[in-house]
Amino acid sequence: MKQDSISELITTSGDSFISFLLWCTGGTGKAVLLSSLNIAARTNLTKIEDDTREADIVQTKLLEYIFRIQKDTKYGIQHKFAQIGINEFLSVCPLTTYDDYKDLIKEVVDGGKYSQLVSEPITLFQETSGTTGKVKLIPRTNQFSLRALQAFQAVEYVAQSHFDNLNTTCQKGLALVNTTPNKFTPAGIPRGTGTSGGLSDALKKFKLANDLVSIKYSSPPPVFLIPDSESAYYCHLLFGLLDRQVTNISANFAANVLEAVQTLERHWRQLTEDILVGRLHESLDLDVATRQKLQTYLQPNPGRAKELQTYFETGFEGILPQIWPRLAYVQCITTGSMQIYSDALRFYTGHVPLYSGGYAASEAWIGVNLYPERQPQAYVVTPNTAFFEFVPEKLIDQDQPPTVKLTALTVGESYEVVVTTLAGLYRYRLGDVVKCVGFHNKSPMIEFLYRRQGLLNLLGEKVSEDVVLAVLSNTFSDHLLIDYTCRYEYSENPWRYVIYLETKDSEGLFYQKEEIQHQMDVVLCRLSDRYRDLRATNRIGQLRLKLVCRGSFSDLKAKLLLRGYSDSQFKMPRLITDSTTINFLEARLLP
Ligand code: AMP
């Protein structure tokens, strides 16, 4: 099967012929399809490798291609894409943010005339998680999806070849992904989160997508369409537990894996009971049709139920490789705001490695992790998924700072990422700050540092999320931390930070709170020179620690998800400013 065939089949057409072949050839057909997928994935990886060798040329060609295809859009006409060259583009077109597009996007959302924005139809308006700021609707097109899918396949290939020796005969993944039903814009264009929208669409439209899911994953396809995240995790776990041969676990974020494992910890008795008798517990929030479909996959399995019960009764430390002896890796994003959850996750994964394979946003795919063993995990920028520029960190406060091209980054320096995409964003500031830690051929390798939105910045001190997490990790042992967020306290003089923290033993820590918050302040002074200076002159007061009771952050998450965002894409805001969220946490303080 040729390089793009599998990807194109999924993104553009169904293929009942392949489904028929699979049905006829059974196990052999599956092995052949898995091998074909691996070949397609390897070709995609080779393509990325080749691109990194000529990153400068690939970037130039990509930008020229964008000029060509978008020349008749509103932005293309306004900025003369038909005549423009790269240097002119960089000097004449300003850096942008979402606000520069929101009116035009609204017009397309309401009226449907996509050609004002992009040259090909918009397949999805992706909702960014929005929990960290205002909801943004980012257009997605087929060309965009295809390149992202190719990068995604390359990541899977790296994982399988590195951790599982490319075992094609019996790969089985437990994919912790759930989707929310697609909504539609007034003009009838689907809208939803990136992961959610793409997957639910493929499963509903294409028989092949269902076949692929059945072959690759332990959960039957209907599980991926369960909107209620708790029930979805439960069903993924149920089918995963039934399959002793699971070789990998995957999810978008470490937070998703952690949540699933905690669901297991809470519900293991009920899960083993369901496995024993071959049923789906009545308490699950499933519609009748889904329940009936899933029930057909189940039958009593007393042997597995007994085996699992023995593991669970012994405790949950290092439980995953016990349940699944062939488990070779867990693939999920562990960097940035996911670090706190990956630290907690290691308690359950034991010796099984965590692989943070990709760095991607709704706006563009940015990088793939080609060095799975490297710590901290880092990403090689993929030169063909967007045209990249970088704003040096010291200039990120400027409105129109000069930028550096992809191949010209300096190792050791940090930058904000700027993308020009195939789907209508030009010189768009992503708000992510990364550090260049080396090069892979001509493409930089970057570590994710922080999101600008979450910077604590009362008086220019700019304390980033990674620094706050370092303060917490310095003060508490990693497995104690559950979650945190911060806000500013303006009602006191001097102003200060308030950190809301949930730990596994907040009650125990409560009586040492004064001491602990002093210690945290000392560590923060050590990690941030500017904060130390402001503290030394008493222009910022000592940070205040507020311990919240168990379950507060999962309740907060549930509340934020009510806005309609996908659980798979959720990121806890690290700086809260709205009074509703603040009051919500204030009401959960330990007495
Ligand atoms: P969304 O647009 O909702 O898909 O979220 C995309 C954002 O998630 C990015 O801009 C990053 O801030 C964050 N993100 C994505 N991948 C990673 C990663 N590998 N490490 C850290 N943060 C990431």
If you measure from the C-alpha of residue 277 to the centroid of ligand 1, how many angstroms do you get, rounded to a whole number? 41
Using a 6 Å cutoff on CB, does residue 573 contact ligand 1? no
The SS3 assignment for 392 reads strand
pLDDT in tens, 521-550: 999 999 999 999 999 999 999 999 999 999
Residue 1 pLDDT greater than 90, yes or no: no
Query: From residue 157, how far is each of 36, 43, 165, 444 by CA, in Å?
Result: 12, 10, 10, 21
Question: What pTM was estimated for this model as a whole?
Answer: 0.91
Measured in Å, residue 439 CA sits from the centre of ligand 1 at 21
Cα 378 to middle of ligand 1, angstroms: 13
pLDDT, one tens digit per residue, over 124-151 is 898 886 544 567 899 999 999 999 999 9
For atom 9 of ligand 1, the residue with the nearest CA is 361
Question: Does the beta carbon of 356 lie inside 6 Å of ligand 1?
Answer: yes
pLDDT value of residue 198: 66
Give backbone dihedrals phi and psi of 133, rounded to 5 degrees, phi first. -170, -155
What percentage of the chain has pLDDT greater than the value 70?
92
Q: Per-residue pLDDT tens for 428-481?
A: 999 999 999 999 999 999 999 999 988 999 999 999 999 999 999 999 876 789
Which atom in ligand 1 lies closest to the alpha carbon of residue 358?
A: 19
Whole-number average pLDDT of the chain: 90
Torsion angle (degrees, nearest 10) of CA 258, 259, 264, 266: 120
Q: Whose CA is nearest to atom 5 of ligand 1?
A: 361
- Which atom of ligand 1 lies closest to the CA of 569? 3
Determine the atom of ligand 1 nearest the C-alpha atom of 338: 21
Contact indicator for 107, 113 with CB cutoff of 8 Å: yes
User: Which atom number of ligand 1 is nearest to the Cα of residue 432?
Assistant: 12
- pLDDT tens digits, 202-231: 788 788 788 888 888 999 999 999 988 889
Q: Nearest CA to 120 among 421, 365, 366, 387?
A: 421
432 lines ligand 1 (CB under 6 A): yes
Which of 136, 199, 335, 342 to mutate to test ligand 1, by most ligand atoms within 8 A of the CB atom? 335
pLDDT tens-digit readout, 28-82: 666 777 778 888 899 999 999 999 999 999 999 999 999 999 999 999 999 999 9
What pairing do the DSSP bridges indicate for beta strands 248-253 and 329-333? Answer: parallel
Nearest to 308 by CA among 323, 324, 325: 323
**What does 107-165 look like in DSSP terms, one character per residue?**
HHHHH--GGGT-SS---EEEEP--TTSS--EEEE-HHHHHHHHHHHHHHHHHHHHHHST
pLDDT classification of 13: cutoffs 50, 70, 90: very low
Residues 367-392 have pLDDT tens digits of: 999 999 999 999 999 999 999 999 99
For ligand 1, pick from 571, 572, 574 the residue to mutate: most ligand atoms within 8 Å of CB.
571
Q: Is the CB of 335 under 6 A from ligand 1?
A: yes
Q: Does the C-beta of 339 come closer than 6 Å to ligand 1?
A: no
Angle (deg, nearest 10), helices 16-53 and 5-12: 120
